[in-house]
Amino acid sequence: MNQENIIKGPAGLGLLALSAIVLLASFGYAITSLSSQGHAAFNATSTVPWGQPIATYLYFALASSGLGLIASLPLVFGFRKFYPVVKRCIFLAFIILISGMAVLALELGNVFRMLWVIPLNLQIQSAMFWMGVFYLVDLVFLLWKFQKMDAGEWDSKTSKQVGIGSFLAVLLASGNLALIFGMMSMRPFWFDGLLPIYFYLTAVASGLAALVFFTYLAHGFSRDNMSAPLRNLLEGALPKFFGAVLGGTLLFIAVRAITGMYSNNPEIHLVWSEYLFASPVYQASLWLGILLPFVLMLMSSLRTLAGTQVLVAILVFGGLFAERFFFVVGGQVIPLFKGTWEWDILSYTPSATEWSLTVMGSAMLFTLWVLGERLLNLSAMPPETVMRGNADEAAATAHS
Amino acid sequence: MAKWGMVIDLDKCTGCQACTTACAMENNTLPGESWQDVLFYHQGKYPSAQMKWLPRPCMQCENPSCVHVCPTRATYKDMDAGGIVFVDWNKCIGCKYCMIACPYGVRFYADEKPLLEPDLRDIFPGSNGQLWSPPYQNPEQDWKRGIGIQPAGVVSKCTFCYHKVSKAPAGTPDLDEDIPELKEYVPACVRTCAPKARFFGDLDNPESQVNRLIGDKHGVRLKDHTGNKPQVYYLGAGAGVPAFEPKPRS
């Protein structure tokens, strides 16, 4: 079934070599900088302690959660049309989370200490403690679910139970990740009980972007190389779903922006007026990275085209990465308890080392993905889905 | 056990920053790592413009949000040490969540770009696990309480000079630098304060001067709406932080 996967051929080898070189180079640069300068190699400071590496981790972790949620569409809710992408979803969710964790590991001051101080001290009051627990459970369930798919167990009782467990783990992990920010009443820009809903929506949007991009890349950006059920999905339900999720994301951003701008609290409205909307990068990410893809996905003549879908995926990659960056930094740019001591809102621009971590995470994702495409059958789906897809396509051909 | 508290009288404070200097000397902090800082504000416009200042140590909150968020219990409130909030440098993983959660911005991650050049860490490179090792340093070291010079990758903060305070005779209601037998136990910022704007004592002792001052002079806790309940009280006019204003855009 996978003969049409170009990654299994020489193109895959080339991509593997390229991504591995970028991975080694960026990791080498980051490690050299960190070992020679410590975290002074970062532009994060005591006033803006969380910078781009945290935003990168957030982006990767939520993209992973989004892919986990998409995988639950067929496995938990019975949307069988999504079976052609479920295995790739689960694999991508796993490797994106691993890549995000690698970035986070290099951001922390003492990463290895974490391995014993967290389990030995069990600080259950901390959302960050639960982040570790839930994402660990998420990883285990993803692996378990993948193993079930790999063994051809699509509809067994255990497989369904693992699917439900995985769905719950994803909800807990990404919802709790939102609350790491959303429970901080001293950071009013973040303080929001509905933040988990916003994170679920944007997680699925970034997950869909990753899924669309990597699915097309695996098939050489040509639908002719795809199986019939996968083609049906990309021409039917998936772009509509993508559009709906982007619409929900826009709605959420609009609601947050309107309430934020209306507020008298300078720690909220100044973030919107003086930092987010004052930044051309944020403006571009919002209009070109989220609104334009939404409009493209609304247009029925365009949304089914392969080129449009790949373009939308790439735009959403950029748009949501910027959204994460401005969300993380935006919560810190109004100086805490400093009042007029500070002349202006705090500024933060990522250093070369911080950028190298983002590149490293992305290169790690590409490397692991190519290995996965080459060594595993990520296009596998239940036999009845293949037969139904082929029958649907034959009927459509006869009809035309 | 005492519950240590500080009272700062803003009507007496001259904003001289001797407290900031004494703290840095006592605790060997790096430039910018101001466990004790004096913040200067302007408020209003001519002809009613004001210049205000506010000395700001760690508030050693009764209900510290930094403690709740720490995933490793590295940050903890020690009720057996007068309710002081410490950072255990053996447990801190440098996630900086406590810095996000502290409403007062009194936590520092010194493993960052230097505030001033040349970088003191290059001039006095760290040894024995220290982030930097100046030739003259306080011999007191207690990494479980964040006392001394920290290793790389951890958060540091004011300890109310616990290495001094802990040696005071039990039951002492106030640590007053004017009482010769007690002056060695007084936190550095309190002892050095020339206009005597700072007072340090036991908030649980009804006879303490800090309690009398809070009661008689209407002591207030800053940002009390956060629910963190500081153990630092301010007296006098100007106990508040003007809202942040961005620089006017051209």
| Chosen from A124, A267, A336, A342 to mutate, greatest number of chain B CBs within 10 A | A336
Residue A343 pLDDT: 75
Q: Give the pLDDT mean for B69-87.
A: 97
> What percent of chain B is modeled with pLDDT above 70?
100
Number of domains in chain B: 1
Q: In three state form, how does the secondary structure of A174-215 look?
A: HHHHHHHHHCCCCCCCCCCCCHHHHHHHHHHHHHHHHHHHHH
A353: left (phi over 0), alpha (psi -120 to 50) or beta: alpha
Strands (DSSP E) along B44-190, which ranges? 50-56, 75-78, 84-87
Q: Which residues of A touch B95 (CB under 8 A)?
A: 108-109, 128
Give yes or no for A264 touching B (CB within 8 A).
no
Q: Give the pLDDT mean for A298-324.
A: 96
For A337, the closest of B105, B110, B246 (CB atoms) is: B105
Q: How far is B119 from chain A (nearest CA, A)?
A: 11
For A338, the closest of B101, B244, B247 (CB atoms) is: B244
Residue A242 pLDDT: 97
pLDDT at A275 over 50: yes
List the structure tokens of B249: 């855009």
- Cβ atoms of A100 and A56 closer than 8 Å: yes
pLDDT at A396 over 90: no
Q: How far apart are CA A103 and CA A350, in angstroms?
A: 14
Residues A23-38: tens digit of each pLDDT: 999 999 999 999 999 9
pLDDT band, residue A261 (cuts 50/70/90) = very high
Highest mean pLDDT pick, A1-15, A148-162, A286-300 = A286-300
Amino acid letter for position A79: F
Give yes or no for A193 touching B (CB within 8 A).
no
Amino acid letter for position B5: G
Q: How far apart are CA A22 and CA A25, in angstroms?
A: 5
Q: Nearest to residue B112, comparing CAs of A36, A348, A49, A343?
A: A49
Residues B228-245: tens digit of each pLDDT: 999 999 999 877 777 788
Residue A400 pLDDT: 61
What is the residue range of B29's domain?
A: 4-235
pLDDT band, residue A387 (cuts 50/70/90) = confident
- Domain assignment present for B231: yes
Closest residue in chain A to residue B32, using alpha carbons only: A46
Q: Nearest to residue A276, comparing CAs of A207, A324, A317, A241?
A: A324
Q: Give the pLDDT mean for A341-361.
A: 92
Q: Nearest to residue B95, comparing CAs of B114, B106, B109, B112?
A: B109
- The span from the first CA to the last CA of chain A, in angstroms, equals 26
Partnered with residue B200 across adjacent β-strands are B6
- What's CA A387's distance to the chain center, in Å? 32
- What's CA A252's distance to the chain center, in Å? 17
Q: Which residues of A touch B126 (CB under 8 A)?
A: none
How many residues in chain A? 400
Amino acid letter for position A126: S
| Chosen from B95, B109, B121 to mutate, greatest number of chain A CBs within 10 A | B95
pLDDT at B106 over 60: yes
Cβ contact B111–A39 (<8 Å): yes
Cβ contact B96–A50 (<8 Å): yes
Q: Which SS3 state, helix, strand or coil, does residue B168 take?
A: coil
Cβ contact A336–B107 (<8 Å): no
For B65, the closest of A40, A111, A186 (CB atoms) is: A186
- Cβ atoms of A58 and B44 closer than 8 Å: no
Residue B33 has φ and ψ, to the nearest 5°, of -90, 65
- Taking only residues 157 to 186 of chain B, the set having a beta carbon closer than 8 angstroms to any beta carbon of chain A reads none
Q: How far apart are CA A361 and CA B147, in angstroms?
A: 36
- Cβ atoms of A93 and A214 closer than 8 Å: no
Cβ contact B153–A38 (<8 Å): yes
Residue B207 makes CB contacts below 8 A (sequence gap 6+) with B173
pLDDT at A83 over 90: yes
Q: Give the pLDDT mean for A140-154.
A: 92
CB atoms under 10 Å from CB of A331, counted, come to 21
Q: Which residues of A touch B143 (CB under 8 A)?
A: none
- Cβ atoms of B107 and B146 closer than 8 Å: no
For B112, the closest of A46, A113, A132 (CB atoms) is: A46
Amino acid letter for position B214: I
Q: Which residues of A touch B93 (CB under 8 A)?
A: 108-111, 113-114, 117-118
pLDDT band, residue A1 (cuts 50/70/90) = very low
CB atoms under 10 Å from CB of A102, counted, come to 18
Burial of A385 (0-12, 13-18, 19+ CB in 10 A): buried
pLDDT at A43 over 60: yes
Q: Which residues of B touch A334 (CB under 8 A)?
A: 244
Q: How far apart are CA A257 and CA A291, in angstroms?
A: 15
pLDDT at A395 over 80: no
pLDDT band, residue B250 (cuts 50/70/90) = low
Residue A29 pLDDT: 97
pLDDT band, residue B138 (cuts 50/70/90) = very high
Residues B144-197: tens digit of each pLDDT: 999 999 999 999 999 999 999 999 999 999 999 999 999 999 999 999 999 999
Give how far Cα A349 sits from Cα of A44, A104, A278, A344, B110, Å. 8, 18, 15, 15, 19
| Chosen from B43, B52, B113 to mutate, greatest number of chain A CBs within 10 A | B113
> What percent of chain A is modeled with pLDDT above 70?
97
For B152, the closest of A38, A46, A49 (CB atoms) is: A38
Residues A230-257: tens digit of each pLDDT: 999 999 999 999 999 999 999 999 999 9
List the structure tokens of A121: 């001290």
Q: How far apart are CA B94 and CA B236, in angstroms?
A: 37
- Taking only residues 123 to 142 of chain A, the set having a beta carbon closer than 8 angstroms to any beta carbon of chain B reads 123, 125-129, 131-132
- Cβ atoms of A283 and A277 closer than 8 Å: yes
- Cβ atoms of A169 and A141 closer than 8 Å: yes
| Mean pLDDT (chain B, rounded) | 94
Cβ contact A43–B113 (<8 Å): yes
For A128, the closest of B71, B92, B114 (CB atoms) is: B71
Give yes or no for A46 touching B (CB within 8 A).
yes
Instruction: Give every strand in the sheet of B198-202, ordered side by side.
Output: B198-202, B4-9, B232-235
- Cβ atoms of B74 and A117 closer than 8 Å: yes
- Domain assignment present for B243: no
- Cβ atoms of A59 and A321 closer than 8 Å: yes
CATH top class, domain A6-382: mainly alpha
Q: Give the pLDDT mean for A126-152.
A: 94
Q: Which SS3 state, helix, strand or coil, does residue A60 take?
A: helix
| Chosen from A191, A340, A347, A348 to mutate, greatest number of chain B CBs within 10 A | A340
Q: Which residues of A touch B42 (CB under 8 A)?
A: 340
Residue B147 has φ and ψ, to the nearest 5°, of -110, 135
Q: How far apart are CA B248 and CA B230, in angstroms?
A: 34
Q: Give the pLDDT mean for A195-213.
A: 96
Q: How far is B147 from chain A (nearest CA, A)?
A: 18
- Cβ atoms of A331 and B97 closer than 8 Å: no
pLDDT at A342 over 80: no
Cβ contact A128–B107 (<8 Å): no
Token look-up 């037998």 returns B181
Q: How far apart are CA A253 and CA A138, in angstroms?
A: 27
List the structure tokens of B213: 């001052």
Q: In three state form, how does the secondary structure of B42-86 look?
A: EECCCCCCEEEEEEECCCCCCCCHHHHHCCCCCEEEEHHHCCEEE
Q: Which residues of B touch A133 (CB under 8 A)?
A: none
- Alpha-carbon dihedral B9, B10, B12, B13, rounded to 10 degrees: 110
ipTM over cut 0.90 = yes
Q: Which residues of A touch B33 (CB under 8 A)?
A: 46
Residue A2 pLDDT: 43
Q: Which residues of B touch A342 (CB under 8 A)?
A: 244
Q: What is the CATH number of the domain that holds B9?
A: 3.30.70.20
Cβ contact A50–B100 (<8 Å): yes
> What percent of chain B is modeled with pLDDT above 90?
88
Give yes or no for B103 touching A (CB within 8 A).
yes
Token look-up 């009507």 returns B11
Give yes or no for A36 touching B (CB within 8 A).
no
